[in-house]
Structure 1
Amino acid sequence: MGFNPELQPAPQLEFAFAMRLSFGQRMKMGVQPSGFMRGYTGVTGGEVSGPKLNGTVVPHSGGDWPAYWPNGAVEFSAQYILKADDGTHIVIKNRGFRFASPEVTARMERLDPVDPSEYYMRLSPFFEAPAGPHDWMNRTVFVGTANRQADHSIFRFWQVV
């Protein structure tokens, strides 16, 4: 009896919402004993818009703690709060990776404009929503893309269906 990996259909994606996230000053704290450089960027606000969720990003409710790898990759680990239009507070815990050529990375470090097609940046968020109209997010897998700018990023999230 054999295993046939083709019997299960591939998951499909359905666009859920986009988020424009504003940041404060970006900091780098130096190389850590593990070999990567730790950073921090506080969230100063933003907006959420889409077919599945609309609202705002609660200002100063968290931030991102990136790890800058020696190979040029950046690992993101962020947490902050969204406020849906109905007043519900939703925690987002967002992880992801960005990788670009050394030339593109240098431009990004200078905060020069860089088209998202010039780098790989993917996200894997999960959410904590209280019981009610948004608790579906607690039991849904999402994936996302990012467009990083000097003072903000635009994230687009799809639910895996």
Structure 2
Amino acid sequence: MPMESLPVEFLFTMTARVAPPTIIQVGPQGSRFIVSVPGGTFEGPKLKGTIVAHSGGDWVTLRPDGSMKLDVRLTLQTEDGAHILVTYTGIGARGADGTTKVYSTPLFETGAEKYAWLNNVQAVGVGTTTPGGVTYEVYALRA
């Protein structure tokens, strides 16, 4: 029987600041926006820290229908010094209120023993753009 909802566990809230984009106008896939991430923060019950400045970015494709395809790589640094690579794709669409709602599928990679449990997590992120960036609520899918 199909599920009506998915079991999730809240991981953290992440707020990323973004720099002005480099724009490649109207290519074969749509317009491309290459966006650097100069920093940000994340905080949840099991981990907290910052986004390492300029450790990644977002390669956004603005598609002909007005939606956005996300392709993101970031490095998180926990407050105890561990590094965690986050990669995700996703989709964004402008809402009637002028903000853009974004939905993503983060995966994590780390060699830090304390956070190794993240290596086997498929996460989902639900976010909203802000004037200077984006804020996500990130959840782990649970069986």
Q: Common fold, TM-score beyond 0.5?
A: yes
Structure 2 alignment gaps of length 5 or more: none
Instruction: Give yes or no for the alignment of 1:133 onto 2:127.
Output: no
Cα distance in 2 for partners of 1:49, 1:96 equals 21
Match of 2:88 in 1: 94
Matched-pair identity in % = 27
Match of 1:30 in 2: 25
TM-score, length-scaled by structure 1: 0.80
How many residues are aligned here? Answer: 142
Q: Which runs of 4+ in 1 moved over 2 A?
A: 8-11
Shift of 1:99: 1.5
Shift of 1:31: 1.5
Q: Secondary structure at the match of 2:114?
A: coil
Structure 1 alignment gaps of length 5 or more: 108-113
Cα distance in 1 for partners of 2:62, 2:28 equals 13
1:53/1:70 Cα in 2 relative to 1: closer, same or farther (>3 Å)? same
Instruction: Give yes or no for the alignment of 1:62 onto 2:90.
Output: no
The partner residue of 1:145 within 106, 126, 140 is 126
Root mean square deviation of aligned Cα: 1.9
User: Which of the pair is proportionally richer in strand?
Assistant: 2
| Bigger radius of gyration among the two | 1
TM-score, length-scaled by structure 2: 0.90
Cα distance in 2 for partners of 1:27, 1:153 equals 17
User: What one-letter code is carried by the residue in structure 2 that aligns with 1:147?
Assistant: T
